[in-house]
């Protein structure tokens, strides 16, 4: 059975070398350009001012070729391929960051819960500027990962850039990142389930956590599924999590280049919660596998979504080992994901039923189009394929005002309100004093200090 890596990434063993010739470029022209590449490599080797490492040059060329396709297609050198496998197994050594690259910048998709980076205050959307005093601009994801990883107990100095704030320079101590994919606790009469990533253990951990919460609270009335800042992971884990809350119906479909390249994933009978109400928390750091789960539960009318529109990473990457992984691997985009209703996730994301920002600062990010952190911001992002675009810059429906207690998780508080209303947003209590609310018809992109009238 093929092992799935990342979201929809199937490991395909290749015994020998592979040459792909584009269907849009005449074969003779393709071979001429390959010959040109060889000529350039030879000239560099002979004429460059200092001796060169041809292996590094070729690996850089491969990386450049893949990133020219889209932000998620990559060449993984042998070490990078090994790192990828470690991550999906739920334990690795590093600083706890999920990263991507675009336009010569490496950005944070999400910090790992409880990891060194998260504890230092690193957030989704931050840009890595400097590593150990060296400019990180122009580095690939693999190169940055290599610099961030190292022996346990050693340190790395990293400077992060964030919209509207001074650079954040932190010293991170590398440690074993043992990812506890699922954690849970009781919030009054309700269960709180946090999924930080989707790995090989997620389905089992979710089942065990729900069973524990039922024992602790036999009369439990519903669940919150927190997928905020969850950058994704395994497709199998995403379908397992969706299946845990569904009795039947489609979870997700993936469609490839040809019309007949369609795979559908369906739920099996058996809802672990017994049909209790569910609220899913999402934000712009919720990507890939998180969006599959949120989209499935929303389209199947199984859950109410609270938070902010998700990242919009709806493409499938297939990981193809080269010579059994001895020469690394290609992670190449081969399909797009679609929710059960046929909506594309790619570039659009999943919109919440109740739009709530966690803070005024987060609301400002959403209200300024040039700083929206999403797949749609990447110049080389794959299109959605269905002629739909992500919502434009706007003021979120609700956000805490500047005087609101910063330690209070307002999104979680509103999720609990939705559960108390049994998912019926028409019965939802009005937002409390100190909350910024955008009234129907209000189109300003600036935060307005408006409080809804009380009944």
One domain, residues 158 and 118: yes
One domain, residues 348 and 411: yes
The set of long-range contacts for 200-206, using a CB threshold of 8 Å and a minimum separation of 24, is 200/88, 200/89, 200/90, 200/234, 200/237, 201/90, 202/233, 202/234, 202/237, 202/240, 202/241, 203/236, 203/237, 203/240, 203/241, 203/244, 205/180, 205/181, 206/182, 206/240, 206/241, 206/244, 206/272
How many C-beta atoms surround the C-beta of residue 444 within 10 A? 10
* Domain termination site, one of 177, 201, 223: 177
Give the chain's domain count. Answer: 2
One domain, residues 164 and 232: no
Q: What is the pLDDT, as a whole number, of residue 286?
A: 94
Q: What is the pLDDT, as a whole number, of residue 453?
A: 33
Q: Is 288 tagged catalytic?
A: yes
Whole-Å CA distances, 1 to 10, 12, 13, 442? 10, 11, 12, 53
Assigned domain for 450 exists: no
Q: What is the pLDDT, as a whole number, of residue 324?
A: 85
Q: Which two tokens stand for residue 344?
A: 């594309």
Spans of the chain below 50 pLDDT: 1-22, 440-455
One domain, residues 173 and 189: no
| C-alpha to C-alpha distance for 314 and 287, rounded to whole angstroms | 8
One domain, residues 172 and 280: no
Pick the catalytic residue: 226, 240, 243, 299? 299
Q: What is the pLDDT, as a whole number, of residue 361?
A: 79
Assigned domain for 11 exists: no
pLDDT, one tens digit per residue, over 38-76 is 999 999 999 999 999 999 999 889 988 998 899 889 888
Residues paired with residue 93 on neighbouring β-strands, in sequence order: 176
pLDDT, one tens digit per residue, over 155-170 is 999 999 987 788 999 9
Assigned domain for 422 exists: yes
**Is there a contact between 402 and 360 (Cβ–Cβ < 8 Å)?**
yes
Assigned domain for 223 exists: yes
* Domain termination site, one of 153, 177, 201: 177
Q: What is the pLDDT, as a whole number, of residue 268?
A: 96
SS3 of 327-392: the string is CCEEEEEEEEEECCCCCECCCCCCCCCEEECCCHHHHHHHHCHHHCCCHHHCCCCCCCCCCCCCCC
Q: What is the mean pLDDT of the chain?
A: 84
**Is there a contact between 315 and 333 (Cβ–Cβ < 8 Å)?**
yes
One domain, residues 223 and 358: yes
Residues paired with residue 10 on neighbouring β-strands, in sequence order: 4
* Domain termination site, one of 108, 143, 177: 177
Handedness of CA 286, 290, 292, 294 (dihedral sign): negative
| C-alpha to C-alpha distance for 40 and 34, rounded to whole angstroms | 10
Task: Enter the DSSP assignment of 269.
Answer: S
| C-alpha to C-alpha distance for 9 and 234, rounded to whole angstroms | 8
Assigned domain for 236 exists: yes
Assigned domain for 21 exists: no
Q: What is the CATH number of the domain that holds 58?
A: 2.30.42.10
| C-alpha to C-alpha distance for 119 and 273, rounded to whole angstroms | 32
Whole-Å CA distances, 154 to 63, 160, 171, 174? 28, 19, 10, 6
Q: What is the pLDDT, as a whole number, of residue 205?
A: 96
Q: What is the pLDDT, as a whole number, of residue 452?
A: 34
Q: What is the CATH number of the domain that holds 348?
A: 3.90.226.10
pLDDT, one tens digit per residue, over 166-208 is 899 999 999 987 777 999 999 999 999 999 989 889 999 999 9
Q: Which residues span the domain enclosing 33?
A: 28-70+93-177
Assigned domain for 330 exists: yes
Residue from 252, 232, 257, 233 nearest 335 by CA:
257
**Tokens 């394929």 — which residue?**
385
Assigned domain for 409 exists: yes
One domain, residues 105 and 187: no
One domain, residues 59 and 102: yes
Q: What is the pLDDT, as a whole number, of residue 97?
A: 87
Pick the catalytic residue: 313, 344, 374, 417? 313
One domain, residues 103 and 139: yes
Residue from 86, 130, 156, 84 nearest 320 by CA:
84
One domain, residues 300 and 421: yes
pLDDT, one tens digit per residue, over 222-261 is 999 999 989 898 899 999 999 999 999 999 999 998 888 8
Give percent above pLDDT 90 in the chain. 49
One domain, residues 203 and 167: no
Residue from 354, 356, 338 nearest 346 by CA:
338
Q: Which two tokens stand for residue 185?
A: 């606790």
Pick the catalytic residue: 73, 288, 290, 331? 288
One domain, residues 348 and 213: yes
């Amino acid at each position: 059975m093929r092992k799935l890596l990342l979201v929809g990434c199937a490991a395909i063993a290749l015994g020998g070398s592979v040459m792909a010739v584009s269907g849009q470029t005449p074969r003779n022209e393709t071979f001429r350009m390959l010959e040109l590449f060889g000529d350039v490599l030879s000239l560099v080797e002979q004429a460059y001012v200092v001796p060169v490492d041809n292996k590094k040059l070729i690996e850089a060329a491969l990386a450049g070729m893949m990133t020219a396709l889209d932000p998620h297609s990559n060449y993984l050198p042998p070490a990078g391929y090994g790192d990828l496998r470690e991550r999906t197994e739920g334990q690795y050594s590093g600083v706890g960051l999920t990263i991507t690259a675009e336009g010569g910048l490496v950005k944070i998709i999400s910090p790992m819960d409880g990891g060194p980076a998260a504890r230092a205050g690193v957030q989704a959307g931050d840009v890595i500027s400097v590593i150990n005093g060296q400019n990180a601009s122009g580095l690939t994801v693999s190169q940055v990962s290599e610099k961030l990883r190292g022996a346990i107990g050693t340190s790395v100095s990293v400077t992060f850039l964030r919209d509207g704030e001074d650079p954040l320079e932190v010293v991170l101590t590398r440690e074993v990142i043992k990812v506890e994919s699922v954690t849970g606790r009781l919030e009054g009469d309700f269960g709180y389930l946090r999924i930080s990533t989707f790995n090989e253990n997620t389905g089992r951990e979710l089942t065990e956590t729900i069973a524990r919460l039922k024992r602790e609270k036999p009369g439990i009335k519903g669940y919150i599924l927190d997928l905020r800042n969850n950058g994704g992971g395994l497709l199998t884990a995403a379908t397992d999590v969706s299946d845990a809350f569904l009795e039947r119906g489609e979870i997700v479909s993936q469609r490839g280049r040809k019309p007949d390249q369609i795979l559908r994933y369906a739920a099996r009978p058996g809802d672990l919660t017994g049909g209790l109400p569910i609220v899913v928390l999402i934000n712009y750091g919720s990507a890939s596998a998180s969006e599959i789960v949120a989209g499935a539960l929303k389209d199947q009318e199984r859950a109410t979504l609270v938070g902010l529109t998700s990242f919009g990473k709806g493409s499938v990457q297939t990981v193809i080992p080269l010579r059994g992984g001895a020469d690394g691997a290609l992670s190449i985009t081969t399909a797009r994901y679609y929710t059960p209703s046929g909506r594309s996730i790619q570039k659009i994301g999943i919109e919440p039923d109740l739009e709530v920002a966690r803070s005024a600062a987060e609301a400002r990010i959403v209200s300024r189009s040039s700083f929206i952190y999403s797949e749609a911001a990447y110049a080389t992002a794959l299109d959605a394929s269905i002629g739909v675009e992500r919502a434009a810059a706007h003021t979120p429906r609700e956000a805490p005002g500047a005087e609101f207690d910063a330690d209070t998780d307002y999104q979680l508080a509103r999720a609990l309100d939705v559960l108390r209303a049994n998912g019926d947003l028409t019965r939802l209590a009005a937002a409390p004093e100190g909350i910024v609310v955008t009234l129907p018809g209000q189109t300003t992109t600036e935060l307005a200090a408006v409080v809804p009238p009380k009944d």
